[in-house]
Structure 1
Amino acid sequence: MSFVPIKDGEFTSTIYGMIKDGKYNEVMRILQYELQRSPSNRAALSLLGYCQYYTQDFHGAVECYEQLTQLYPNFSEYKLYYAQSLYNAFMFPEAIAVASTIEDPSLLSEVIKLEAAIKYREEDLTNARILVEQFPQEDVDIEVNLACLDYKENNYEKSLERFSRATGTFGYQPELAYAQALCHYRRKEYPQALKYITDIIDRGIQ
C-alpha cells in the first residue's frame, strides 16, 4: 500500500490531528512509510514510538526510542521513554541500565518511580519500598504504591488502610475498590469483599 506524502510543514499537525481522533493504526502505517523515505525523521520516530507505546506494542516502541537515544543522546526524555518501554516489554535489566544513564534532575522522580516498579515486578520488595519512600512527599502515588507493597508482604490491614486513604484522595476508582475487596478477602471478611465487588459490577452496568 502506498500513501500520498503529507505536505512539508503539515506533517506533525496532521498526525497530531489523527492521533486525537484515535486513528492509531492509520497513523502508524503513515509514519512507517515516512521512515522508509527518511529513516532518521525525528518527528516520525517520536510519534511512532508514542503510538506504539499507547497501543501496547512495547517492543516496537523500544526500537523507536532506542534509535532516538542514539540520534539525540543529549535529549534525556528519549532515554526515559526508552527505559519505560523496556520495562513494559519485561526487559527489566535493560530498563535499569538505561535509567541509570539519565542525569537530568527534572526527570529524577520519574526515574525513581520506574526503578521502584522494576524492583516490585522482580519481587525485590525491600528495595522497592526504599525507592517509593524517596518519592516527593507531595506525590499522590506514594500511598497506592505503599499499599501494594503492604499487600505483597501480607500486611492486609495496613494495605486496606492505605487503599482507603487513596480512595479518599482520588475518589472512587474501580481499581482501588477491587484492591480493597482483595484485602477484605485475604482477611476472610467475605461480606465486605462481596460488597466491593458488587459495587464495581453495579457501577460498570451504569
Structure 2
Amino acid sequence: MHEFLFINGLSGLLIITALMVILSKKAINSAIYYAAQSFVIVVLFIFLGAQTGSGELYLWSFTAFITKVLLVPFIMYTMFRRLDDGELGSGQVMPAAFSAIGAALIVILCYAVVSGVTLPSAENLKPALAISLAHFFLGLFCIVAQRNILKQVFGYCLMENGSHLTLAILAPNAPELVEIGIATDAVFAVAIMAVLGTRIFGKFNSLDAGKLTTLKG
C-alpha cells in the first residue's frame, strides 16, 4: 500500500513540471523541465513494474530514458538554440495565473471521471491515473491557449507523456513493441516540428502562429 501511495504522490510532480514547461520563457529551460519530467516518468515505470510484476515496464523505463530524457531534449536544445533569443513569450495568450487555475480545474475534473473507474489495474492508482489523463489535456490546453509555435511543440510532448503513463497504468503488460512505437513516434514528431519551427522563425522572424495567415504557393 505504501508503494501505491508513493506512486500516486510522485505522479503529482508531473503537473508541477508541466506548468514549469508551459510557463517558462526560455525554450532551453522548457527542454530541461521536460527532461526532468520524463525522468519522473521513468521512475514511475520502474515502481509500477515492481508493483505489478511487469517485466515489460522495466524495458519501457529503459526506452523512455533513452528517448524522453536524453534524445528528445537533445533535439530540442540543438534546434531551439539556433533561434536568435529562444524566447517563448511571443504569441502568448493565456497568462500564468490562468494557466495554473486551468491546470487545477483539469486535474479536478479528471479525478471526478476516474473515480468511477473499476478496472483492477487502476484500483489503487486512481490519483496517478487522474493525473496522467489531466496531463494529456494539459498538453492540449497548452497547444490551444498558446500561439507560440515552440510552446505548441512542448504541448504535444506533454500530451504524449500523459498518454504514455495512462497506458502504463491500464496495460502494464503491453509488449515492448508498443513502447518502441510510441517512443519512435515522439522522437520523429518532435524532430519534424522543431525543424518546421526554426524554419518558420528564420522566414518570419517570429514564433507567433497567429501571424502565419498567408499561404504562398
Q: How would you bin the TM-score normalised by the shorter chain?
A: under 0.3
Instruction: Give me the TM-score of the superposition, normalised by structure 2.
Output: 0.22
Q: Which protein has the bigger helix share? A: 2
Work out which structure has the larger RCO, using CA pairs closer than 8 Å and 6 or more positions apart in sequence. Answer: 2
Choose 1 or 2 for highest CA Rg: 1
Instruction: Give me the TM-score of the superposition, normalised by structure 1.
Output: 0.23
